[in-house]
Amino acid sequence: MLRTLKDLFDSLLPPQGAALASPLGTMSPDHRLQLATAVLLVEVMRADTTLGAAERASVLGALKRKFDLADDELARLLELAETTAHGATDFHAFTSALNDRLNFEEKVRVVEAMWDVAYADGELAAHEQHVLWRVADLLHVPHGAYINAKIRAKAAAGL
């Protein structure tokens, strides 16, 4: 019986020496940065109980400003980000990709873009704020910069 349980557990574990798959896979550094940014924006969009067109448009606008992609590339990136976000268990892989490539000001701009998505529908849900707080912390954005980004995004939304 013990042998059967051990065989069961062994079958559930990855082979010894196998690396855990990263949600960003073996992409080029530029594609990793694009997908990581898109996933974090999508996570804010998904944190709201009502997924609206305004938030989706805000995500697409932020991605277009940041990466200057064609409309079909933006649509594909958003689709991939939604799929990746749905399967992700945490933010670590995505924030690590941004921490590796972005300087402080660029990370603050990502946080501000996330605030833009949160305020796109005219209100801020508690889950959106929680996602933003967690991501800002993982990006090593200090509280003052986090709050200033929030204030700028709220003003830009006319709230």
Say how far apart CA 111 and CA 106 lie, in whole Å: 9
Domain that holds residue 101: 27-156
Residue 32 lies in a domain: yes
- Give me the CATH number covering residue 118: 1.10.3680.10
Q: What is the pTM of this model?
A: 0.82
The per-residue pLDDT for 17 is 43
> Residue 20 — very low, low, confident or very high, per pLDDT cuts 50/70/90?
very low
> Residue 159 — very low, low, confident or very high, per pLDDT cuts 50/70/90?
confident
Q: How far is CA 118 from CA 1, 18, 52, 136, in A?
A: 53, 38, 11, 14
Alpha helices (H) in 13-140, listed in sequence order: 29-47, 53-67, 71-87, 92-101, 104-119, 126-138
Domain count, the chain: 1
Whether the predicted pLDDT of 15 surpasses 60: no
Among 15-19, 28-32, 82-86, 103-107, which stretch is predicted with the lowest mean pLDDT? 15-19
Residue 73 lies in a domain: yes
Q: Comparing 21 with 130, which gets the higher pLDDT? A: 130
